[in-house]
Amino acid sequence: MRYELTDFEWAAIRSFLPNKPRGIPRVDDRRVLNGIFWVLRSGAPWRDLPVSYGPRTTCYNRFVRWRQAGVWDRAAGHDAAVQMIDTSVVRVHQHGACIADNNHQDIGRSRGGLTSKIHAVVDTNGLPVHLALTPGEAHDNRLCSVLLSALLPQTMLLADRGYDANWIRELARQQGAWANIPPKRNRKDPICFSPYLYRARNLIERFFNKIKQCRRVATRYDKLAANYLAFVKLASIRIWLRANESTP
């Protein structure tokens, strides 16, 4: 069926899954994971999960347990020569907004309605390195100090004009990296900027396009920010797996 893991993808991801057998027979992890990917790609509610993937409560509970265990946070290998940072705003569906304590679930309000903002850092190949979530009205550079804290020496950082701030450039310089960011029109002091190298920044735009092919990411249906961010990370893992599967 569509969206299911290939043998290569399953072999790569199975070692990250905790396996603690209990007294009752355990539903096959690959079957459950295929069900989770079906929800991710289709955007359907958990209650509409086809019975071929097993009980919907099993799929949801295991998705949450794996999220709490940090399975979706396992860092994948990446090329540190170039890193790009950017954000993308997603609309929050009315089903995701009906929670009393939504002030702590990274849901913001703007002229477009309720929104959340995905912050991402990708590498030279457009593969994800770091991901985070904030309310939609938050400034793009709010999480820079966190997302860019692990830059390696001689790394080139690419970002748009929204990140043209002296403290961001200094943060990159302190780690031995170089921030190739176009200057704002009101910047007075000249800076070093290469338009030719900046052209590679389209990779992070393409990354957002890829993860938003998953309807569960393109629109936020999840009340809990942790669950929505877990879906974003799961979509990113699928991109990483497919990229490595196609690499000879």
Structural domain for 66, as ranges: 7-73
Provide the pLDDT for residue 187. Answer: 87
Q: Which of 49, 73, 97 is the last residue of a domain?
A: 73
- Is residue 101 located within the same domain as residue 198? yes
Residue 29 lies in a domain: yes
Comparing 102 with 198, the larger pLDDT belongs to 198
* 99: confidence class by pLDDT, cuts 50, 70, 90: low
Provide the pLDDT for residue 32. Answer: 93
- Is residue 149 located within the same domain as residue 172? yes
- Is residue 46 located within the same domain as residue 121? no
Q: Check: CB of residue 181 under 8 Å from CB of residue 169.
A: yes
- Is residue 52 located within the same domain as residue 163? no
Residue 239 lies in a domain: no
Work out how many domains the chain is built from and give that number. 2
What are the backbone angles phi and psi of residue 70, rounded to the nearest 5°? 80, 20
pLDDT, the chain, mean: 88
Provide the pLDDT for residue 160. Answer: 93
Examine the pLDDT at 75 and tell me if it is beyond 60.
Answer: no
Examine the pLDDT at 90 and tell me if it is beyond 90.
Answer: yes
- Is residue 44 located within the same domain as residue 159? no
CA distances from 105 to 132, 215, 219 (A): 12, 20, 15
Provide the pLDDT for residue 150. Answer: 83
Provide the pLDDT for residue 152. Answer: 87
Q: Which of 26, 41, 73 is the last residue of a domain?
A: 73
Provide the pLDDT for residue 112. Answer: 75
Q: Which of 73, 107, 126 is the last residue of a domain?
A: 73
Residue 161 lies in a domain: yes
- Is residue 163 located within the same domain as residue 67? no
Render pLDDT for 114-155 as a digit per residue (tens, 0 to 9). Answer: 999 999 999 999 999 999 999 988 999 999 999 998 888 899
* 103: confidence class by pLDDT, cuts 50, 70, 90: low
Residue 240 lies in a domain: no
Q: Check: CB of residue 106 under 8 Å from CB of residue 225.
A: yes
Render pLDDT for 7-57 as a digit per residue (tens, 0 to 9). Answer: 998 988 888 888 766 656 677 889 999 999 999 999 999 999 999 998 999
- Is residue 126 located within the same domain as residue 40? no
The rounded distance, in Å, linking the Cα atoms of 38 and 17 is 18
* pTM across the whole model: 0.91
Measure the CA dihedral 14/16/21/22, to 10°: -130
- Is residue 128 located within the same domain as residue 212? yes
Nearest to 5 by CA among 45, 44, 32: 32
Residue 238 lies in a domain: no
Residue 2 lies in a domain: no
Examine the pLDDT at 87 and tell me if it is beyond 70.
Answer: yes
Residue 231 lies in a domain: no
| Domain harbouring 107, CATH code | 3.30.420
Render pLDDT for 200-238 as a digit per residue (tens, 0 to 9). Answer: 999 999 999 999 999 999 999 999 999 999 999 999 999
- Is residue 58 located within the same domain as residue 159? no
Measure the CA dihedral 123/3/117/88, to 10°: 60
Q: What is the mean pLDDT of residues 151-179?
A: 92
- Is residue 136 located within the same domain as residue 216? yes
Residue 142 lies in a domain: yes
